[in-house]
Amino acid sequence: MSVWSYRLQNILMDKKWGLFGSLRSEAGNITDMNAIYLYPDNQTGLMGEFINDEMIWAKPVKLVGFKRSSCHVLEPIVQALSEEFMQLEPSNSTHIPSPLLKDPFEEQYLEVRPSVIGSGRGVFSKRRIPEGTLVGFYQGVRTSKIEALKDKEIRKSPYKIDNDWAHPNEILDISEFYRDLNNYNATLCHLINHSPDPNSVFEEIDHPRFGKIRSVRLIKPLESQEELSLDYGFMEEYFRVKNSYQSILELGKVFSETDNDVDYYQDLKKHINFLKTKVQEIEPYADMLKSAGEMFHSVFK
């Protein structure tokens, strides 16, 4: 027996989004040919086939109400927003699938225009938006911090952003090809400019189409046609501090020609223990030299 249920996927700042459909498994996962993934506005959705909570295919819809079925179960009433099919298709290290298929939720809020706070392009609100609203998404090709160190293009990219909540050491980046809006406009938040006084912040989302990526939420209300801004300084500081103690280890892994963390760190541990032994052997001589230096300094000062 199937039961219609609305199950929350995420709860952030009291903004809820999730799946609405039939529970058909003991695990409580939703499997339904007409399930609806609702975005945070609780109106925009993706309706189609979901199996064990995973979107197989869906079309953008707007939730307009509910009706009571003959079994006295509330069922959603929707209006189609588009005939475009969407599916779960996260990016990989080189490719972003369906790069010109815009996200229907973000498209309601954001557009690209010439920036007024930075050079080149910027992202602007299409309407008045209250504080706390999730407005868009930041996805890109996926790579690791090790690859970013090895690849000159990624290393110098101004678009790379940490995504290690999804996978350890993962980075999202907009590679050269996808920086052209004629080649990629599925999401726009990579074009939000930096400001020391931002009106937006990065968050995390497990998107039904893009997978685990970054989202952007307002921390200040916006008027229509106002430019969004983010403080990328904290990301730069994050990379600077984290890389300051990881870069040697990661480069060591590159030169050791292994991607196996266990093998690499076991080998590294052997070298560290060897160095500890040598330090202990020369420590008495170091103390002796220190004492001699102090004596020499006291005589000739």
pLDDT of residue 283: 59
Q: How many residues does the chain have?
A: 301
d(CA 217, CA 221): 10
User: Quick one: pLDDT band at residue 1, thresholds 50, 70, 90?
Assistant: very low
Out of 208, 232, 256, a domain closes at: 232
- Domain co-membership, 191 together with 116: yes
Closest CA to 108 of 78, 134, 86, 80: 134
**27 or 47, higher pLDDT:** 47
- Domain co-membership, 112 together with 191: yes
Domain-embedded: residue 94: no
User: Quick one: pLDDT band at residue 100, thresholds 50, 70, 90?
Assistant: very high
pLDDT of residue 288: 58
Q: What is the mean pLDDT of residues 190-197?
A: 95
- Domain co-membership, 148 together with 262: no
Q: What is the mean pLDDT of residues 63-88?
A: 87
Domain-embedded: residue 91: no
Out of 232, 262, 290, a domain closes at: 232
> Which residue range forms the structural domain that includes residue 205?
104-232
Domain-embedded: residue 274: yes
Over 70: is that where the pLDDT of 59 sits?
yes
* Domain CATH for 51: 2.20.110.10
Q: What total number of domains does the chain contain?
A: 3
- Domain co-membership, 190 together with 124: yes
Side chain identity at residue 138, one-letter code:
Y
- Domain co-membership, 138 together with 228: yes
pLDDT of residue 286: 56
- Domain co-membership, 16 together with 69: yes
Q: What is the mean pLDDT of residues 158-173?
A: 93
Over 50: is that where the pLDDT of 177 sits?
yes
pLDDT of residue 14: 38
- Domain co-membership, 278 together with 226: no
**255 or 55, higher pLDDT:** 55
DSSP state letters, 160-176: -EE-TTTSTTEEEE--G
Domain-embedded: residue 76: yes
* Bridge partners, residue 200, by sequence: 218
**88 or 281, higher pLDDT:** 88
Over 50: is that where the pLDDT of 117 sits?
yes
- Domain co-membership, 203 together with 136: yes
Domain-embedded: residue 96: no
pLDDT (tens digit, 9 = 90+) per residue, 231-256? 987 555 555 544 554 555 555 555 55
d(CA 157, CA 230): 17
Domain-embedded: residue 108: yes
* Domain CATH for 124: 2.170.270.10
- Domain co-membership, 72 together with 145: no
Q: What is the mean pLDDT of residues 40-48?
A: 93
d(CA 72, CA 14): 29
- Domain co-membership, 59 together with 115: no
pLDDT of residue 10: 42
User: Quick one: pLDDT band at residue 277, thresholds 50, 70, 90?
Assistant: low
Mean pLDDT of the chain: 82
pLDDT of residue 39: 93
Q: What are the start-end ranges of the E strands in the chain? A: 3-12, 15-23, 32-38, 44-51, 54-68, 74-80, 110-114, 121-125, 134-138, 141-144, 161-162, 170-173, 193-194, 200-207, 211-218, 229-230
Domain-embedded: residue 295: yes
Over 90: is that where the pLDDT of 296 sits?
no
- Domain co-membership, 168 together with 251: no
User: Quick one: pLDDT band at residue 127, thresholds 50, 70, 90?
Assistant: very high
Torsion angles phi and psi, residue 21, rounded to 5: 180, -165
Domain-embedded: residue 127: yes
pLDDT (tens digit, 9 = 90+) per residue, 79-97? 999 999 999 999 999 999 9
- Domain co-membership, 111 together with 225: yes
Over 80: is that where the pLDDT of 42 sits?
yes
